[in-house]
Chains A and B, each alone.
Chain A
Amino acid sequence: MRGYCGKILEVDLTNKTCREYKIKDEVYENLLSGASLGAWWCSRRIPAGADPLGPENVLCITSGTLTSTGSVITGRWMAVTKSPATGGIGEANCGGTFAPYIKACGYDLIAFVGKSETPVYLYCDNNGPVIKDASHIWGKDTAVAEQMLIDENTVEGKKKPAACVIGPGGEKLSWMAGICNDNGRIAARQGVGAVMGSKMLKGIVLAGTKSVSGYNPAEIKKYSKISASRINAVMLPPEVPAGLLHLGKILPELQMSPDGIFTAVLMGTWGTGGASSFAAQTGEAPIKNWGGSQKEDFSAWKCNKVDGSQMLRLQTNRYYCYSCVYGCGGEIDISKIKHNDQGYKKVHKPEYESQWDFTGFLLNTDNDAMLFINEYCNRMGIDTISTGGAVGMAIEAYENGLLSKEDFGGLEMTWGNADSIIKFVKMIANREGIGDTFADGCKKATEILGPEFGKYGVQGGGTEPPMHDSRPDPQQALHYAFDATPSRHTSGGSLYYGCMHLWKKVSWAPPAVLIGSKEGEWKNYDEESLKVLANQYYKRLADAAGGCYFGFITGVANYPLFEWLSAATGWDRTPDDWMVVGHRITTMRQLFNIKHGIDPWSFRPHGRMIGEPPLKVGKVAGKTVPIDPMLRAAWKNAGWNEETGVPTQETIEKLGLDRLLNAPLEEFVYG
């Protein structure tokens, strides 16, 4: 085997039929599997103009080429579809333990088309797929539904199945809905859960036990040992003072390219939330719905009150996703916190995004409120990033007199008002009252309420941005705008690029010795856009492989993605060769968007994300990102039209996409 199974399962929920497609090696040689195979299948199967929530849309659930081959930190699964939020390619990925079960059923990808009339779920094991009734779990929260599905499909003496599900948010077609596994981990972004809900598909239960391997298992293992030993070598003992979290106060903004291996220290010790106080102090974390500053609006004392170390007091254990070796995940006991009217007990520790979204971003210092909202969103199956953005928009609309207390059903939607924020999140999740207006995100809410609300509805291309301020980091802004799945922090940024050291293996990737003080660097748009393209292409490769972002930011020396891919596939390719695959995937995703009528300029970030106008106070004061020339430079260097963002015919042909996307499907399948 070469890491992939060579098969796609397509489930027609209208006709309740399943069909297996055997895929020729040519597809994998060009695209690998994982998210890129999903984007290819969506490109082939979704007609232009299809309603994202209609039966013509296709939802792909997929795991990557490296998953289950013996490589480490390569256990993500991906959902790919046409997004209701952006109108273009939608993608979300998630960790936990679900990913290997897809390939254990013998498939690289399970696609869902059509629409069921009644709630159903898919069960699949070594004997093949069965569509089953899900009426009894429709309406249940994600943790309850997942457990019910696992329990009713567990056979004594056999391996326990794995499941992913949607919550009530997905059932109610919220464009902020995701797909959950492992009791609340969530593939959250761009409304993939709404697409699943539109098909009346409550869950997917996988119980296959088929083995998967790479072409050269010994070589894969060799690199995995190196990676694991290096990461383990830098882990800190738990007694290291939490004072590290406050280093942002004293460290100057100027920073040299760090050794990415040390990202494992912070996240392995505290989890992603451990960076929140640090991020606030350095200007990385947006404050007050991107309209405020740490200096004026959220003091160091407040940052301290909500920083990552506070959550560790409740932590009962750390955990590792499938094939992970440093374990940024943790479980906390929130049974005794305030606001817990749902009786939640042991839950996932909030990630940085959720933690900051419901604290400093909304000027909330009630940590218990944040902990409750995080779990509530996970249970309802909605994205905390988009939900936080919608709440921020609502608060500003209230504070500026555009919406009244009556509009909010009696809630005083003021900054930091924990009780109101909790109640409003519940209204969004349940589509109650004005919560219904905000349940599809800021862009849709602005369309409904009027253009005067757009000032407060911070989004890019229909996606609410994450808690990484792009004003002090133009590379981050360019990623938000360039990516076919816009406004996602996991696309890249200057710190990530500085950590990865791609230039040591990719001949055309510019070095980034100095990061952090970027104003001067951005005078050379060509070179800086190449850094963003290298980062983007590499990210596409990682998503095709099932790789975890937190693995590959440890650096190419410590996370040997290129070497693993060559060993798993048996294809003798250089890093430059692999980056061509990344370029191909990136261009294919852009072509999907063009096919579906997206103007790439429409992904230009909201003014607040790029300092139009700039803030007057704080770490990002006076900073405006020159996004237009940056975008043109990136498009030109990607071989796309620099004025329109449309890939040129020459580039399409050079990358072989003309054939991959337009030749009859029969030429790529057999059997």
Chain B
Amino acid sequence: MKIEFHGPPMCDFSRMDKNGDIEVPEGTTLKQFLKLVKLPVIWRKVFPVLVNYQKVPMETALNDGDIVSAFSPSGGG
């Protein structure tokens, strides 16, 4: 299944296709996914991680087409 991922620059984006999706096995949990993209544990403990724009438990199984967003510093002014 494909997961759309938005994350900070230190993550591993090597598996990402040109549409911004990452292919993962069915049943992958959020925690497993974040490990796959190498999001530092401290990062997800301090900053928000969202699935489809909502906070969910780390053990939540992802579904095809889900959007996973990990905090990435950006702003405007």
Contacts and interface: CB of A to CB of B under 8 A. Distances in A.
A497 B26 CA distance: 32
Contact of B69 (A254, A262, A267, A516): A262
B16 A513 contact: yes
B72 A258 contact: yes
A267 B75 CA distance: 7
A351 interface: yes
A266 B75 contact: yes
A278 interface: yes
B66 to A, nearest CB: 13
Contact of B77 (A251, A275, A516): A275
A259 interface: yes
Interface stretch (A183-191, A228-236, A389-397, A591-599): A228-236
Contacts of B74: 258, 260, 262-263, 266, 495, 499
B6 A233 contact: no
A276 B76 CA distance: 10
Contacts of B47: 236, 265
B41 interface: no
B50 A256 contact: no
B27 to A, nearest CB: 24
Interface string A248-280: 100111111111111101110000111110100
A617 interface: no
A267 B73 contact: no
B48 A273 contact: no
A66 B53 CA distance: 24
Q: B-side binding surface: helix, strand, loop or mixed?
A: loop
Contacts of B7: 256, 258
B76 A261 contact: no
Interface string B37-56: 00000000011101001110
B6 A234 contact: no
A108 interface: no
Given A256-B20, A273-B77, A513-B20, A233 B72 contact: no
Given A233-B50, A265-B71, A252 B10 contact: yes
Contact of B75 (A233, A256, A275, A353): A275
Contacts of A273: 77
A257 B20 CA distance: 8
B74 to A, nearest CB: 5
A558 B48 CA distance: 16
Nearest to A255: B9
Contacts of B6: 256-259
A1 interface: no
Given A251-B10, A255-B9, A550 B76 contact: yes
Interface-central residue, B5, B53, B55, B75, by most chain A CB under 10 Å: B75
A251, A262, A266, A553 pick with most chain B CB within 10 angstroms: A262
A557 interface: yes
B76 A244 contact: no
Contacts of A155: none
A511 B16 CA distance: 14
A275 to B, nearest CB: 4
Contacts of A553: 76
A275 B76 CA distance: 8
Given A256-B16, A267-B76, A513-B20, A262 B71 contact: yes
B48 A233 contact: yes
A94 to B, nearest CB: 15
A666 B3 CA distance: 55
B26 to A, nearest CB: 24
**Interface residues of A: mostly helix, strand, loop or mixed?**
helix
A257 B72 CA distance: 9
Given A230-B53, A267-B75, A261 B69 contact: yes
B48 A234 contact: yes
Nearest to A467: B77
A562 to B, nearest CB: 17
A530 B54 CA distance: 31
Contacts of A276: 77
A263 B69 CA distance: 12
A200 B16 CA distance: 59
Contacts of A263: 74-76
A426 B30 CA distance: 56
A351 B75 CA distance: 12
Contact of B73 (A234, A251, A254, A260): A251
A498 to B, nearest CB: 8
Interface string A411-430: 00000000000000000000
Interface centre among B13, B18, B20, B67 (most CB of A within 10 A): B20
Contacts of B20: 256-257, 511, 513
A513 B71 CA distance: 16
A495 B77 CA distance: 12
A187 B15 CA distance: 45
A236 B6 CA distance: 18
A290 interface: no
Contacts of A557: 53
A495 B74 CA distance: 8
B72 to A, nearest CB: 4
A512 to B, nearest CB: 9
A247 interface: yes
Nearest to B46: A240
Contacts of A352: 76-77
Contacts of A319: none
Nearest to B17: A513
Given A230-B53, A240-B46, A259 B9 contact: no
A240 B6 CA distance: 21
A272 B75 contact: yes
A123 interface: no
A272 B13 contact: no
Contact of B72 (A230, A253, A259, A353): A259
A265 B43 CA distance: 14
A621 B47 CA distance: 33
Nearest to B54: A233
A103 B11 CA distance: 48
Nearest to B48: A234
Given A258-B72, A495-B76, 14 more contacts: A251-B8, A255-B9, A256-B13, A256-B16, A257-B20, A265-B47, A265-B48, A267-B76, A272-B75, A353-B77, A496-B76, A499-B74, A511-B20, A513-B19
Interface of A: 230, 233-234, 236, 240, 244, 247-248, 251-263, 265-267, 272-276, 278, 351-353, 467, 489, 495-496, 499, 511, 513, 516, 549-550, 553, 557-558
5 contacts: A255-B9, A260-B74, A266-B74, A467-B77, A511-B18
